[in-house]
Structures are given as structure tokens and as C-alpha cells.
Amino acid sequence: MSNPVNVYDARADHAVVAAESPLAYSYASSGTPAPARHSRVVMAERAFLGHLILRGGAIVIDEALREVLGLSLPGRPNTLTVADDGRYSVQWLSPDEWLLIVPGGEEFAVEGKLRQALGESHFAIVSVGGGQTVIELSGEAARDVLMKSTAYDVHPHAFPVGKGVTTCFAKTNVILRRPDEARWEIIVRRSFADYVYRWLLDAGEEYGIGVTRESHHEA
């Protein structure tokens, strides 16, 4: 049988092709207020990362992930594992679904290696990086902004570092996660990104929200 699945490298060469992140429109239409001294919350996009949805049984996917990236699947629902200084992370989305985020441009290679490692098991891998982006929130008022936006409990007792959930955010849905003490990450679908951006600017206004354009994480 021919290759049962079409594995496709949809990434273009960013040196040649002008790529636009999901927030490109928003930066132009809503502006990017610079963080100031009184800014108690700061927003930054981590654009163009590789996002892979992994579907299948936890045991085989865990083995494959360890083999390929040295990363283990999070053991509990609604948690994530972060490795290598935040460059790789894998998050539980459902009992048979995880979100793997890798540096931009690595997704095709990682998918290929994972498929090889998974062999004949029942699984699926889908690249979705063009359709979503990561927005990072930091600062002392980040939690207040989130409380205005989501009914999920973001108190540190209920939302410790290493937690990640899919939940409602204003009138859309996002993945909300806490990779470390300093940052919250909101993963939003591309078509809703402008709404979330405008929402965050509005909800963060009373805390002097600022936007950082360059991200040290960008691959």
C-alpha cells in the first residue's frame, strides 16, 4: 500500500516569502501600545511556532515522544510538560489528544520522526500551526485580566504552573496554560486572534497594558 497518510511540509522559506502572523492585522488596525513603567500587564505574541495535534493511545505516543524529543506525555488531564527551556512542550487536551509545540520550522521533521516511531499503531498527527498562535501575558495584573476574560479559576491554588486547559475566553475559546511562574500563554485560533487581541487591550487598559513585538522565543 502507498503511504496511507499525506504528510506535507506546508512551511515556506520565511527568508523569501513574507509570512504574516495571526496578529499582523491587529498590530496594524489596533496598534501596539508600548509597555510603560506603570504597565502592570504585558502581552507578546510567540508567532510561527510548529503546532502538532497528536491523537492516539497515551502509552504509544508517550514512547514515541520520549524517543524523538526526550519529552514525556503529561500524566494527568489538563497539564503540560515543558522541556528544553520552553522550546518544546506537550499538553493534554483530551484522553487521546495532545498539543505538541516545537520551534517553528521543525514541525515537519518532528512529525515524520514521530510517525516512524509510532509505526503501525493507531494514531493521527495533524499540523495546525498556521491556524493558531500563542499570546503571552506577564505582569502582576495578568491574573486580573484573565479573571475578566475566563470563568476558569486562575487562582494559583487552582491553576499552578504546569496546568493547561481548553476553556471559554470572553466569547471565544482558547487554550490557557501556565508554563512557568512568570507567564501565562493563551493559544487562540487565527480567525479569533484579532478579537482576543482587542479584548485584551480593552480589559488590560486599566492596568496600562503594553505590547511587546519582539519575542526572544521566536525561532
Partner 1 sequence: MFHIYCPYCEEHREEEEFHPKGQAHIARPDDPDACSDEEWGDYLFFRDNPRGIHHELWVHAVGCRKFFNITRHTVSYEILETYKMGAQPQVTAAPRETGEAHGAEGRADAKDIHEGVRA
Partner 2 sequence: MNQPNRLAQGGRIDRRQPLSFRFNGQTYQGYAGDTLASALLANGVDLVNRSFKYSRPRGIVAAGAEEPNAVVQLGSTPATQVPNVRATQQALYDGLEARSTNGWPDAQRDVMRWVGKLGGPFMPPGFYYKTFMAPDSMWMTYEKAIRKTAGLGSSPTAADPDRYDHMNQHCDVLVVGAGPAGLSAALAAAHAGARVILCDEQEEMGGSLLDSRAQLDDRPAAQWARETLATLAEMDNVTLLPRTTANGYHDHHFVTLHERRTEHLGETAVSADGHRPVRSRMHRVRAGQVVLATGAHERPLVYAHNDVPGNLLAGAVSTYIRRYGVVPGNRLVLSTSNDHAYRAALDWQEAGREVAAIVDARDAPEGDVVERARAAGIRIITGSAVIEAKGSQRVSAARVARIDREAFTVVGQVETLACDTIASSGGYSPVIHLASHTGARPVWDESILGFVPTTVAGVHAAGGARGVYPLNAVLADGLDTGVRAATALGFTAATPAAASPHCEAPDEGPACALFQVPHEKSTLRAPKQFVDLQNDVTAGAIEVATREGFESIEHVKRYTAMGFGTDQGKLGNINGMAIAARCLGQSIPETGTTVFRPNYTPVPFGVIVGRHCRELFDPARYTPLQAWHEANGAEFEDVGQWKRPWYFPRERRTAEGTRLETMHEAVVRECRAVREGVGILDASTLGKIDIQGADAREFLGRIYTNKWQKLAPGRVRYGLMCGDDGMVMDDGTTSCLAENHFLMTTTTGNAAPVLEWLELWHQTEWPELDVSFTSVTDHWATMTLTGPEARKLLAELTDIDLDREAFKFMDWREGHVAGVPARVFRISFTGELAFEINVQAHYAMHVWKALFAHGDKYGLTPYGTETMHVLRAEKGFIIVGQDTDGSVTPEDLGMHWAIGYDKPFPWIGKRALTRSDTRRENRKQLVGLRPKDPSVVLEEGAQIVFDPDHAIPMPMVGHVTSSYYSPTLESGFALAVVKGGHQRMGESVYLPMADGRVHEAEIVGTQFVDPKGERQHV
**Binding residues vs partner 2 (CB under 8 A):** 1-6, 8-13, 16-22, 24-25, 28-29, 38, 48, 53, 55-56, 96, 122, 124-132, 144, 147-148, 150-153, 155, 157-158, 170-172, 189-192, 194-195, 198-199, 202-203, 205-208
Q: Which does 214 bind (CB under 5 to 8 A by kind): partner 2, partner 1, none?
A: none
State the minimum distance, in angstroms, from the CB of residue 161 to partner 1: 17
Residues between 155 and 184 with contacts to partner 1, criterion CB under 8 A: 165-168, 173
Nearer residue to partner 2 within complex by CB, 14 or 66: 14
Nearer residue to partner 1 within complex by CB, 70 or 160: 160
205: its cell numbers:
487598559
- Cell 475559546 belongs to 173
Closest CA to 78 of 97, 64, 65, 59: 97
When asked if residue 124 is in the footprint of partner 1 (CB under 8 A), the reply is no
CB atoms within 10 A of CB 82: 21
For the range 86-92, what are the long-range contacts, defined as Cβ-Cβ under 8 Å and sequence gap of 24 or more?
Answer: 86/179, 86/180, 86/217, 87/217, 87/219, 89/179, 90/54, 90/65, 91/164, 91/175, 91/177, 92/164
Q: Which does 53 bind (CB under 5 to 8 A by kind): partner 2, partner 1, none?
A: partner 2
Q: Which residues contact 115 (CB under 8 A, 6 or more apart)?
A: 5, 7, 125
Q: Are 21 and 47 in contact (CB under 8 A)?
A: yes
When asked if residue 68 is in the footprint of partner 1 (CB under 8 A), the reply is no
Q: Which does 66 bind (CB under 5 to 8 A by kind): partner 1, partner 2, none?
A: none
Q: Which does 119 bind (CB under 5 to 8 A by kind): partner 1, partner 2, none?
A: none
When asked if residue 10 is in the footprint of partner 1 (CB under 8 A), the reply is no
Residue 128 phi/psi, 5° resolution? -130, 15
Q: Considering only residues 43, 73, 93, 125, which one is a binding residue for partner 1 as defined by CB under 8 A?
A: 93
Residue 218 identity (one-letter amino acid):
E
Q: How far apart are the C-alpha atoms of 52 and 103, rounded to whole Å? A: 11
Count residues near partner 1 (CB under 8 A): 14
Residues that bind partner 1 (CB under 8 A): 76-78, 93-95, 97, 151-152, 165-168, 173
